[in-house]
Structure 1
Amino acid sequence: MSRYDVVLAATADGGQVGDPVVNIAIFGAFVLVTLVIVFRASRNNKTAADYYAAGRSFTGPQNGTAIAGDYLSAASFLGICGAIAIYGYDGFLYSIGFLVAWLVALLLVAELLRNTGRFTMADVLSFRLRQRPVRLAAAISTLAVVFFYLLAQMAGAGGLVALLLGIDGVAGQGLVIAVVGALMILYVLVGGMKGTTWVQIIKAILLIAGAGIMTIWVLARYGFDLSALLQGAIDAGGEEGSKLIEPGKQYGASALTQLNFLSLALALVLGTAGLPHVLMRFYTVPSAKEARRSVVWAIWLIGIFYLFTLVLGYGAGAIVGPETIMASPGKANSAAPLLAYELGGVFLLGIISAVAFATILAVVAGLTITAAASFAHDIYASVIKKGQVAPDGEVRVARITVLVIGGLAIVGGIFANGQNVAFLVALAFAVAASANLPTIIYSLFWKRFNTAGALWSMYGGLISCVLLIAFSPVVSGKVDPTTGASLSMIRDTSIDFAIFPLENPGIISIPLAFLLGIVGTLLSKEQPHPEKFAEMEVRSLTGAGAEKASVH
């Protein structure tokens, strides 16, 4: 009996993978080390710049590593490995899509945003437009993206950690979500951006190193011959094994599935360039030069990691087998842990489990600091107080916001636990692509763009995206043709109000948001301010005056 057969037998009886004692010990060591670092980093958090942007004290390589940590979520590690193991070529399209998305974000908007803004994305969007309405709209879209992204991460944390620690039942998994949420709140509350950045750096190093070790281990089994590895995956795949190296296994069944993939790809590629928690990382470096160095480091680290996922995905398919993976409690998400257990037993499984846990914890911390900065800086300081607020007062409101956001995420994660939360991630990316990106692009590059165009684009993109998701198969009406079970968020198969056939609205809501930005601008009688656009253009391209960017 192989190791993974032992694992599956254990999960059938007790609900855990591997040894919970080992997993808890490794988790505990990670939490202890990072808490010490966070408390040390927090000693210099005195101003808003310290709390939101870590005093702009990180170097390019440090920030580039942290960006990789922010970008490589649990979906990148667990989800893509599982998708490649089950669907082969079509699963690897996720890796390609995420990497291309990162290049679009960095080369199109990242450095320009860093040079123009101060703490948040709304600093840029409101630079040459009317402050209060634009900041409010930008903050609302930011909070929407962060909340749905956060909800999915929390629910995923509950399922993953409960599985690895052998915790069963709704109450037990709810407790796990509460513990993850409490740790997240503590990291952000105490450490601010500086503490969160160090957690991201540690997590990125652990994740890439762990994936690298497993990649070398898998290749060594096949004499470092990639062709032999692919043949092993084909042999383990049975009758449909040959489809693993051909396009179409997941998205080639019909014209609708192909359109689904096109819509999802559009949302992922363009949505990444509008994800506020990723863009906010560029405010932690002292200069445009360091921002560019961040870009280089992040591209290399992220690109190398996604190459690892190709070997790990096909390795899991070849060594563990797709049937075994899909029979496990976590289904496709169990591919990487099961591969780790087969390669190195309980200890390697514990390490990989801790890496997955660190990944979730670091991402939710990054999301939370973004939400806190957006509310405190954009809504409280700029809209409610009209810029008349002391920096320490703004930071105090940010910390209160962390408690509120953390509490909401815990409650939402508990309610969403066990349900289909894929639509939450899709909604986060689709909202970012629909509500944020068009306004960012127009603000940076279109001289005629005005406040009305920004509001039409942001609110129109947000509302259309949410409505299309609500009336899509991811919420109701999607049924497994084999088992008859619901694959939607609403598990009752008798409830079906899906009138929009696609599972992601990107192909509709993104072009609509761009169009609304144009229509709103042209219909408005508001006169453009060429001098403000010229100032913004100089600042975005040179970084001149970025340190003095403020509410005006």
Structure 2
Amino acid sequence: MKALAALAALLASGSALAADAGARPLNWPAIYMFLAFVVFTLGITRWAALRTRSTADFYTAGGGLTGFQNGLAIAGDMISAASFLGISAMMFMNGYDGLLYALGVLAGWPIILFLIAERLRNLGRFTFADVVSYRLDQSPIRITAAFGTLTVALLYLVAQMVGAGKLIELLFGLSYLQAVLLVGVLMVCYVTFGGMLATTWVHMLATTWVQIIKAVLLLSGTSFMAFMVLRHFGFSTEAMFAAAASVHAKGTAIMAPGGLLSNPVDAISLGLGMMFGTAGLPHILMRFFTVSDAKEARKSVFYATGFIGYFYLLLIVVGFGSIVMVGTNPEFRDAAGAIIGGGNMVAVHLSHAVGGSLFLGFISAVAFATILAVVAGLALSGASAVSHDLYACVIRKGQASEREEIRVSRLATLGIGVLAVILGILFESQNIAFLSGLVLAIAASVNFPVLFLSMFWKGLTTRGAVAGSLAGLASAIALLVASPAVWVNVLHHEQALFPYANPALFSMTLAFSSAWLFSVTDRSERATRERGRYLAQFIRSMTGIGAAAASRH
């Protein structure tokens, strides 16, 4: 409890410094509500941590969650800063085209339901690397999976850091640099509360219950916001859209496609990345090992799809309502006429417009706590890739002690946190949903091709899987750096080397092609044995015979 009080004191002292420096007047009711809720969620995390009794509890919450519970937890993972803050900001700026970032992710869930969920639960135990390496050579697969996990986790962290930094900047009156540094400190504290009690992997039991609670609260809060917006327009969506078009700088063009992505290649590439990238996010795939069997895994996807789809419907109302209720209100603009806190904060301003200071504090706290849980989970997933997959399994050949793994994991967490802060500062001006779209493109290029091929293609070999992952990773990162988002907006060159904003169409193609080519040309004895083991894998994936069972709580 002393540590919890220290967190509150840290935030409060930062607010006092900002007030002394003559910053914008602080909204103390919102700040008190924010602090109370963040301390409450940290307490919930600590409570869940103390319930951990085994490695299975720590890795996968014992595998004993119901489909409904796991579906809510998955929804909590997905409706984070990128969704609530980023997509509403996309709609505020671009109107109809902001839906691309919502529908792209939603379209990925039927793929997970019909292609991945059942086989993933039957074949794996803790991570998706267990599935890919089921019949392949463990060490090379785990090395490449670790690098892919690290890359996806780090870049996904950047989007969350930008959202959390902007939120703290807005609420507490700090500079963006101070806010991002503060989020980094809180992330370390959150990881500490979450556990690292006997292993170095993600504390799934703690984060699952926190995500369930926050998913319910965020869905409830957003529902209230949407209700109040519709009430403002007499419960007429037609009146809301007409009012938004009348006050937006783009006029009726916000109701038509093409304003954000006029190039069809960009649109196709974004759609592919959003759909298949969702099926390649390591922290989402781990959720399917927290249920008892394949049936509950399918139920998880069904419930998650419903919750996420409902949330995105609400964001349409939030985004277009913000155009009128935030965009035309001078209270939410600075002296230069820009939105206070940046465009990513329009949903937060809307909560103030419809519910006052206390509701602003509630929405800010729920959004921030959701970000913090995702940040902690991503940091731990990246750290576990270093400490377990690389250090313990590859470097020490399974001979590392728990203490050594924990020490390496803590150092890795610190390193990941520092990199996330640096990149968060560099990408300050980028839309959060756009950043998350780039991460999904990398996940679609690195993880999804080898995961899909390992489950559905008998001919995949270790050499092909490694080549596919590395080709997807290298090409996705290279094209991302050469794209306008980084080459022009961050590195400030005049013209991008790669003309498209999203690399998924090209990097995914290269990943699949490389995996196929290096597999069909592999005539080694190891490759023959790996192809021969596919039948046993197929039987287990379809029947669940031999799959890991749930532990009793």
TM-score by length of structure 1 reads 0.87
Shift of 1:106: 3.2
Q: Distance in 2 between matches of 1:523 and 1:383?
A: 26
Post-superposition shift, 1:497? 7.2
Per the alignment, residue 501 of structure 2 pairs with: 503
Letter of the 1:510 partner, please give it.
M
Q: 1:61 corresponds to which residue?
A: 68
Q: Relative to structure 2, which stretch is displaced further, 199-208 or 102-111?
A: 102-111
In structure 1, list runs of 5 or more residues that go unmatched: 1-9, 478-487
Contact 1:113 1:124 in 2 (8 A): yes
* Structure 2: gaps spanning 5 or more residues: 1-17, 198-202
Moved more, 213-222 or 409-418: 409-418
Q: Which residue of 2 aligns with 1:432?
A: 443
Give CA deviations for 1:204-241 in whole Å, capped at 9, x if unaligned.
Answer: 11111110011111111122111111111112225x32
What CA distance in whole angstroms lies between the structure 1 residues aligned with 2:549 and 2:348?
48
Shift of 1:366: 2.3
Letter in structure 2 aligned against 1:446: W
The match for 1:336 among 347, 351, 358 is: 347
Superposition map of 1:99-498 within 5 A: 99-168=106-175, 170=177, 172-189=178-195, 192-237=203-248, 240-252=250-262, 257-321=263-327, 327-387=338-398, 393-394=401-402, 396=403, 399-420=406-427, 422=430, 425-477=436-488, 488-490=489-491, 493=492, 495-496=493-494, 498=496
Quote the offset at 1:28 in angstroms: 2.1
Pick the aligned partner of 1:79 from 67, 82, 86. 86
- Conservation of the 8 A alpha-carbon contact between 2:221 and 2:363: yes
CA deviation after TM superposition for structure 1 residue 409, in Å:
3.6
The 8 Å contact of residues 461 and 531 in structure 2, kept in 1 or not, is answered as no
How far residue 320 of structure 1 moved from its aligned partner, in angstroms, is: 2.1
Give the partner amino acid of 1:504: N
SS in 2 for 1:546: coil
Aligned equivalents of 1:19, 1:107: Cα separation in 2: 49
Contact 1:145 1:427 (8 Å CA) reproduced? no
Deviates more, 1:189-198 or 1:58-67: 189-198
Cα displacement (A) at 1:512? 0.7
Change (3 A) 1:187 1:451: same
The answer to which of 433-442 and 97-106 deviates more is: 97-106
Following TM superposition, by how much is the alpha carbon of 1:156 offset from its aligned partner in structure 2, in angstroms?
3.0
Compare 264-273 and 455-464 and name the one that shifted more.
264-273
Q: Secondary structure at the match of 1:70?
A: helix
Find the aligned partners of 1:397 and 1:22 in 2 and give their Cα distance: 45
Alpha-carbon contact 1:135-1:379 (below 8 Å) kept: yes
d(CA) in 1 for partners of 2:321, 2:292: 42
Post-superposition CA distance 1:480-512 (Å, at most 9, x none) = xxxxxxxx112xx4x457311112211211111
Secondary structure of 1:476's aligned partner: helix
Count residues in correspondence.
515
Whether the 8 Å contact between 1:120 and 1:374 is mirrored in structure 2 is no
SS in 2 for 1:107: helix
Cα distance in 1 for partners of 2:470, 2:176 equals: 40
Give 3-state SS (helix, strand or coil) of 1:474's partner.
Answer: helix
* Matches of 2:146 and 2:354, distance apart in 1: 46
Cα 1:419/1:368, change in 2 over 3 Å: closer
Given residue 130 of structure 1, which amino acid in structure 2 is its aligned partner?
D
Give the 3-state SS of the residue equivalent to 1:500 in structure 2.
Answer: coil
Indicate the percent of aligned positions where both proteins have the same amino acid: 42
Q: 1:155 to 1:222 in 2, by over 3 A?
A: closer
Structure 1: how far apart are the matches of 2:521 and 2:435?
34
In structure 2, relative to structure 1, the CA distance for the partners of 1:104 and 1:14 (3 Å cut) is farther
Relative to the length of structure 2, the TM-score reads 0.87
- Amino acid of the residue matched to residue 66 of structure 1? A
Residue type at the aligned position of 1:407: L
